[in-house]
Amino acid sequence: MNGEQETINARAREKRKGIDDLIKDLNPSEGVDIATVMPDIMPGRYFAFKAGGPHFFSKCKNKDVVEDKYLQNIWPFIYTVTDQRSTISTGTMSKAKLTYIFVKLYHKSETVMKKNFRKQTSVEVRERPKEVEKSMHRIMASCFVPNSNKDAKFVDHINGNRVDYRVENLRWITPEGNSKGSGGETSDPDKVYELVSHQMWFKGLGANMLTTSKDIFNKQIEENIKNEEFKKNFEKVLKNETQ
């Protein structure tokens, strides 16, 4: 086993231990099956917990620049039950679209055909459950924040922080309430430029301009397939020539 593989295995063991330590303090009866509040989601697989889990930003390598609250296990999270090892879902935020923290969950019945990239010399297509993207704040509000107003269909972050999806920071509001604070506000070009100038897409480094690891992997598969086909044709001609 090489050093790189040992590092990967060590990280996996550390992650597994973190999950095991976390669930020791959980009360299973406090978990809410997300399918009970979002009927399109696969039942019996995803369970929301009100607090006690890690935040997406806890995965940051440079923790010196991360606010302490994001490094504490105080956040709502999703416990995912699988046939193999169960996992903790903290959601993710796309670098190309800085909005909210989202998580992908399996649809209860719809499926899609997806490529299996594990094989190096071929592309295998398998049928898998369709993934549905849901925001963490809406999941947690649906599970834990009562809503007695049928017109209140939007989830608001009380402190305005879009990545703070703690239950006490969420509330249900009407469409009118969702736009509160923007009425009559003029756009400040200097402020807008300051905010936008820090975005990757503004610097020409948007997702569509970058070569991702998946692009490299797909290209490698194409090269492997070409090499395999060349080898087969070469050996076929070779055998015919020597007969």
Tens digits of residue pLDDT in 138-152: 999 999 999 999 999
Is the pLDDT at 72 greater than 80, yes or no?
Answer: yes
90 versus 4: the higher-pLDDT residue is: 90
Q: What angle do CA 93, 82, 141 make, to 5 degrees?
A: 45
Is the pLDDT at 243 greater than 60, yes or no?
Answer: no
Mean pLDDT for the stretch of residues 79-85? 82
Mean pLDDT for the stretch of residues 54-69? 89
Percent of the chain predicted with pLDDT > 70: 70
**pLDDT value, residue 215:** 74
**pLDDT value, residue 88:** 87
Is the pLDDT at 192 greater than 60, yes or no?
Answer: no
Encoded tokens for 121: 């010399």
pLDDT band, residue 77 (cuts 50/70/90)? very high
Mean pLDDT for the stretch of residues 153-171? 92
Q: Give the separation between CA 64 and CA 56, rounded to whole angstroms.
A: 15
Q: Any residues with CB less than 8 A from the CB of 84 and at least 6 apart, and which?
A: none
1 versus 18: the higher-pLDDT residue is: 18
* Token pair 């003029």: residue: 186
Q: Which fold has domain 3-210?
A: Homing Intron 3 (I-Ppo) Encoded Endonuclease; Chain A (3.90.75)
**pLDDT value, residue 171:** 95
**pLDDT value, residue 182:** 44
Kindly report the pTM of this predicted structure: 0.69
The full DSSP string for 92-148 is: B--TT--S--EEEEEEEEEEEEEEETT-SS--EEEEEEEEEEEEHHHHHHHHHS---
Instruction: Give the model confidence (pLDDT) of 125-141 as tens digits.
Output: 788 899 999 999 999 99
**pLDDT value, residue 186:** 52
Is the pLDDT at 183 greater than 90, yes or no?
Answer: no
Mean pLDDT for the stretch of residues 215-232? 78
CA distances from 96 to 128, 161, 180, 199, 201 (A): 26, 19, 27, 8, 7
